[in-house]
Structures are given as structure tokens and as C-alpha cells.
A = this chain, B = another copy of it.
Amino acid sequence: MADDKKLTPREDDFSAWYNEVVLRAELADYSPVRGSMVIRPWGYGIWERMREALDDMFKATGHENAYFPLLIPMSFIEKEKEHVEGFAPELAVVTQAGGKELDEPLAIRPTSETVIYHMMAKWVQSYRDLPMLLNQWANVMRWELRTRLFLRTAEFLWQEGHTAHATPEEAEEETVRMLGVYRTFMEEWMGMPPITGLKTDSEKFAGAVRSYATEALMQDGKALQAGTSHFLGQNFSRQFGLTFQTEEGQEEYAWNTSWGVSTRLVGGLIMTHGDDQGIVVPPRLAPDQVVIVPILVGDDHAAILAKVDEVAARLRDLGVRVRVDARENLSPGAKFYEWERKGVPFRVEIGPKDLEKGSLALARRVTPEGAKRKEFVEENEAIQTLPDRLEAFQSELLTAARDRREAATVRGVTSMDELDEALDQGAGFVYSGWNGDPAVEQAVQEQTKATSRVLPDEEFRSDSAPTRCISGEGDAEHEVVWARAY
């Protein structure tokens, strides 16, 4: 059955558009368990490519993968005071197993610091065992009240890096390095350029000394915290006895970091590039980069299908991921709609006229302004230029997203009223001075619904540093970026 009903336009209702896109592009679906989603093959295929790219980057920076238990004793989670305060309200708890009540309830991991540092304490004896650089790909569970597919689900997939170091400097360096890895990944693979910086104390990870984040701007002007990297100091090593013998023979607590990104990134991808036709998948992450649709009119279907297979094979030889959509029960138009909705970067149409002329019809999922959506290109040229066209498509997405972010950025705001007005007029990231007082963050949130996203890293700061706090009280100790956020 052709599914050609239009999506709710983003302008009318961004949130409705988002949900429709996720469901109708077959990225994910609701499950029978409240708050848990099912990730369907098209969405999972995007996540698989994200995972592969990130995993390569983690390995290139010296990390190894391991796997730790899903269930964590409640007593572990209770050891780090801030950690338990942050996570206890969201835990799902196993109280029965094997037909019996458990002596101690077990929490489904909301994150794995506790059990990982417990194990590292067993493995690390001396400075020679450091740094220990581990990563885990896993499912985690946080019982959220209001859930959104991909953006906030009770269960989600993620990776969590956990490292132990001999010095705070080395751990801090690792924290910043991994933030940089995330930024590079988001720019080069997702075409989603985040700003980076330090979280304020009220926004940091429960148990961290300092949290860094990448914050990306969605098309509706809201920010998405897309990846975080935490300097944990010795908060966990002290609770779990993670010590090492220094070169000088002393016993010291190790210094830890943790960092993670999740299936939330898929939500970010959708809201960064999607349009009223559906999602747009950057070529480097697209499970299929090109879909070939045979136009079976005229007498000689066999010749068309043979050409389709030939073109597909030639493109695959060039390293392009190609899907041939030769389904018999669907019109070409219905296929066009489907693959547009699913965001495949290029469509190739091959019909009798193309065969006659020796050309292919190339349709881009999105085009730069003024460019043609569909071109007829001589066959060899079309095939040989497709890898470059995909690269160009990839980088145009990044440029467009960066332009949108910059266009929606307002700097030098000096009062809460001004902030509120800017946000209401469509601003995304709004920069101001801040005196460092959490009460100001609370006042801003109450008046404007915006929260502090980051104290921006140097490269993102304004040319002239703000002098006064947005509250009107006191000097600015930092420049801060405000936004309404997911």
C-alpha cells in the first residue's frame, strides 16, 4: 500500500512533524512497554553506521571495548552521594529472580560508573596498569516520565567510555580529547555542528567534578545536548577503592573520566536535516546512499532491469551503497515518496527514454538554492561523478546547518527581557554574561524557559567578552550560552 499522505509541515507543528517522520520513515516505533521504543531496520542502520564510525575513532585514540553487567547492586549506586541523588528517581529495579525475592534489589544500569570502577579496582595495581581506557556499547534504562522516540526513552542504546589515569592533568586531557572526538564525529559524519563548552554546576553529571558538552541547534531553535564528557576527579575511585601504586611506591586514588553518546543522536540528525518530505540522511551515515528505481513502461522491461543491475554493480564497485527498488506492487511515484521520506541522498531513475539516450535521471534529496532537483546526466559521467556528488551533498548539509546555527545565534544580550524576546523571535543560542550564581540560572529558566547550555569554549566565545551579568547584578564571570532545550 502506498503511503503518500503528506507530513504535517514543520512550520505548523514541529513536534507532530517529528513524531510522524520517525514513524513513517520507519525509523522507530512505540513498543508495548511504556517509554521503550523499537528501533526499526532503517533507524538501526543509521545507528549502526554511527556506531562504526565512533568505534573506529575510539580505537584510534587507544580505547578498548569491554562489557559489564546490566544489573547493578543498589548498594553500589548509593555509594557516591551526588550520583544516587541524580539517578535514584529514574531507576528500574529487579526485586525477583529465578522465582525468588532477591536479598538485595538490583538496578538496571542507568550508567555504569559504579560497577566499572569497582572492577577496575580489582585490575589496577600499579601506575604501569594506567591509563586504563575502556568503552562499552550497551543498553541503559532511565525511567523517564515524558518520553519522545529517540530523544528521551526509558531504554536507550549508547556507548559509555570509562578511563582511569595516574594524574588529574591526564584525565582532564582525556575528557577534552573525547569531547573533541564527539565534535568531529558530529560535524564530519552527521553534518550537525555543535558548540562545545563546560556545563555549569547545576547542569553537570551527577558525580562529576566538571562536565563538558556538545550542544547542537535543531531547526525549531531548540538546543540538543548531544554528547557529554565528564572529569570525575577521584569521586568514584575513593568510593570504590580504585587505587594504584605510584612509581615512588605510594598508594594513590586514580583519576577518572566518563563520556557518552546515545541513540538520541538519531533524533538530532532528524531535527537537523529533515524537511517536510521526511528525513535527510547524510551520505556517510546512510544505509543506502543511492536508490535506483526502474521505470517500467514500454515493452522491454528486461532491458531496463538489466541496465539497473549494471548501474548498481558499477556504483558498488566505486564503493557506493546502492539499493535497487524493483518491487512490483508499487508505482515509481510511491517509491519516490518512500525514499524521500527515508532520506536517501540520491535517487537514480532508469526508464526506456534513459536507455535510448544513454543517460540517467539523477535526483538529489535536497538541493542548494537555485540548483536543479533532477538532472539528466550521461550514464558514464553520472556513475563516475556520484561519489563526488555524495561528498558534496555531505558537506553542503554541514554548511547549511552551520549557517542556520549562526543565523539563529544572538550575542551580547544584557537582560532577561532581552533574552526572552530574542528566544520568542526565533533565536537559538543566546549569549550573555553571567556572574556564576545558580540562582540566576533558575531565574532565567523561570522567566524564559531557557537553561544554560555551556560556558562556551574559546572558539565559540564572542569577540568582546561580556562585562555584566544578565541578571543585572554583578560582573560577568563567564560568558554563557542560553537556549530552550530538549
B98 touches A95 (CB 8 A): no
Asked whether, in the complex, the Cβ of B33 is within 8 Å of the Cβ of A72, the reply is yes
Spot the interface stretch: A59-67, A169-177, A308-316, A348-356: A59-67
A76 at the interface (CB under 8 A from B): yes
Name the residue of chain B whose CB is nearest to the CB of A91: B97
Q: Please tell me which stretch of A139-147, A375-383, A403-411, A419-427 contacts chain B, meaning at least 4 of its Cβ atoms lie within 8 angstroms of it.
A: A139-147
CA distance A69 to B95 in the complex (A): 19
Report A387 CB to chain B, min CB distance, Å.
22
* A324, CB-defined interface residue at 8 Å: no
Which parts of A90-107 form the interface with B (CB within 8 Å)? 90-99, 105-106
Chain A, interface residues (CB within 8 Å), range = 35 or more
Question: When A37-B69, A69-B31 are in contact, do A93 and B92 touch as well, CB less than 8 Å?
Answer: no
CB pair B139–A31 under 8 Å, yes or no, is no
Partner of A143, one of B44, B98, B119, B154: B98
Separation of A155 and B106 alpha carbons in the complex (Å): 13
**CB closest residue in chain B, given A128:** B329
- Minimum distance in angstroms from A339 CB to a CB of chain B: 16
A38, CB-defined interface residue at 8 Å: yes
Determine if A31 and B92 form an interchain contact, defined as CB atoms under 8 angstroms apart: no
Determine whether A326 belongs to the interface, using a CB cutoff of 8 Å to chain B.
no
Contact in complex: B98, A38 (CB < 8 Å):
no
For A141-166 the 0/1 string (1 means CB < 8 A from B) is 10111000000001101000000000
A94 to B327, CA, bound (A): 44
User: Contact partner of A98 among B70, B96, B123, B145, CB < 8 A?
Assistant: B145
Give Cα distance in the complex from A96 to B105, angstroms.
Answer: 10
Q: Which residue of B is nearest A40, CB measured? A: B66
The complex places the Cα of A308 from the Cα of B69 at a distance, in Å, of 38
Min distance, Cβ A456 to any Cβ of chain B, angstroms: 34
- Proximity bits, A85-126, B CB within 8 Å = 1, else 0: 000111111111111000001101000000100110011011
User: By the criterion CB–CB under 8 Å, are B98 and A71 in contact?
Assistant: no
The one of B31, B93, B157 in contact with A96, judged by C-beta atoms closer than 8 angstroms, is: B93
* Partner-B contacts on A (CB < 8 A): 1, 29, 31-33, 36-41, 44-45, 48, 64-73, 76, 88-99, 105-106, 108, 115, 118-119, 122-123, 125-126, 128, 134, 138-139, 141, 143-145, 154-155, 157, 327, 329
The 5 closest A-B pairs by CB, nearest first: A98-B143, A41-B64, A36-B69, A39-B67, A92-B97
21 contacts between A and B (CB under 8 A): A29-B122, A31-B68, A32-B73, A32-B115, A36-B69, A36-B70, A36-B71, A39-B67, A41-B65, A44-B65, A70-B70, A70-B155, A71-B141, A71-B155, A88-B99, A92-B94, A92-B97, A93-B97, A98-B144, A108-B108, A128-B327
